[in-house]
Amino acid sequence: MAISSAPGKVYLFGEHAVVYGEPAVPCAIERRARVEVSRREDGKLSVHSDDLTLDGFTVEYGVSPDERPDIDVSESLVTAAMGYVDGAIEQVRDVTGNDDVGFDVTIDSDIPLGAGLGSSAAVVVAAIDAATRELGTTLSTEELADRAYRTEHEVQDGQASRADTFCSATGGAVRVEGEDCRSIEAPDLPIVIGFDGGAGDTGQLVAGVRNLREEYDFAADTVAAIGDVVRNGEEALSAGDLEEIGRLMNFNHGLLSALGVSSRSLDTMVWAARDAGAMGAKLTGAGGGGCIVALDPTPETETALSFTPGCEDAFRAALTEEGVKRI
Ligand code: MEV
């Protein structure tokens, strides 16, 4: 048996635009997915999870490799999670040359699913790491991030950047621009998260931005403007200028909103955070529902969010330097 865990993340800047080659800066947070893997002799894959959301629900799912159903990622969040595990195991079979190997996989995650905190990337990173180690192979962090990216790319029909998976594999704050992924310095960030209890469909949201960008030059300019915000954000991060980081997060949210990926509940939480005195607030991840990220060293934002209609959970999340962890 092998066990690995990997962190979720928030986007400080740059989601969606990163899909078109602009830079993005996600940073890993101390909410983790833990995956336990045991080799099976019969070649079957069985996936079990008791708790894939903050609320928790149970799913059991077992398939043999040649009887695997077509998985529609939008079908349900749970089926989507199983699709990611299935894809991760395919990568493990490929990288180890063990085409027929089967596994029992148990997922235990405190990252809400599809809510912009990188749940799928964390599950995929931890699953690939644990399953390869179960077969006696330890991947380098770069190879692990690459295999996890390939999984997301395939499951999301070719619409994925390297940002989520690289960040989850390495931990810390990272900068991703196309194939170029690296760790960057970030100050101690007073991160507060608001969660509306819902989720967005990443594939649909990415496709929506793609269509807008193809239809309107000003939508393409908006995507490019997000790239400019990110470049300014990097300078603010290296200067440790929290006020400026917050201002740029606000700007980034406005541009994402213009691209149609915010929602009423995300906007409500963003404004509740700003009204409570947060230095800045924005949606994180694909949008459409899920989480916002705000910066506030005081307890005000967390308290205000917990009383905001439509906000199901508000919590602090520390940046973690620890990526994949072998347990
Ligand atoms: C989703 O967490 C972030 C997006 O930029 C898609 C991606 O980068 O793969 C919307």
In this model, does residue 181 exceed pLDDT 50?
yes
* Interface pTM, i.e. ipTM: 0.98
- 160 CA closest ligand 1 atom index: 9
**Unique residue bearing structure tokens 């066990």:** 3
Report the separation in Å between the CA atom of 299 and the middle of ligand 1, taken as the mean of its atom positions.
29
Report the separation in Å between the CA atom of 66 and the middle of ligand 1, taken as the mean of its atom positions.
31
Report the separation in Å between the CA atom of 160 and the middle of ligand 1, taken as the mean of its atom positions.
6
164 catalytic, yes or no? yes
Q: Which residues have C-beta within 8 Å of that of residue 119, sequence separation ≥ 6? A: 8, 33, 52, 81, 109, 111, 112, 113
Nearest CA to ligand 1 atom 2: 285
Q: What digits encode the pLDDT tens for the residues 111-159?
A: 988 899 999 999 999 999 999 999 999 999 999 999 999 999 988 878 8
Structure tokens at 135: 């077969």
Report residue 61's pLDDT band, with 50, 70 and 90 as the boundaries.
very low
- 15 CA closest ligand 1 atom index: 5
Q: What digits encode the pLDDT tens for the residues 193-227?
A: 999 998 888 889 999 999 999 999 999 999 999 99
Q: Which domains does the chain have, with CATH numbers?
A: 2-184 (3.30.230.10), 191-316 (3.30.70.890)
Report residue 79's pLDDT band, with 50, 70 and 90 as the boundaries.
low
Mutate to test the pocket of ligand 1, among 18, 29, 284 (most ligand atoms within 8 A of CB): 18
Q: Is the model more confident about 86 or about 65?
A: 86
Structure tokens at 56: 């928790």
Report the separation in Å between the CA atom of 119 and the middle of ligand 1, taken as the mean of its atom positions.
12
Q: What digits encode the pLDDT tens for the residues 238-255?
A: 999 999 999 999 999 999
The b-or-e profile of 160-192 (16+ CB within 10 A means b, else e) is bbbbbbbbbbbbbbbbbbeeebebeebeebbbb
Measured from CB, residues less than 6 Å from any atom of ligand 1 are: 15-16, 18-19, 160-161, 163-164, 202, 206, 285-286
Of 110, 164, 196, 296, catalytic: 164
Let me know if 138 is exposed, middle or buried by CB neighbors in 10 A (0-12, 13-18, 19+).
exposed
Does residue 156 contact residue 206 with C-beta atoms inside 8 Å? yes
Q: Are strands 2-13 and 325-326 parallel, antiparallel or unpaired?
A: antiparallel
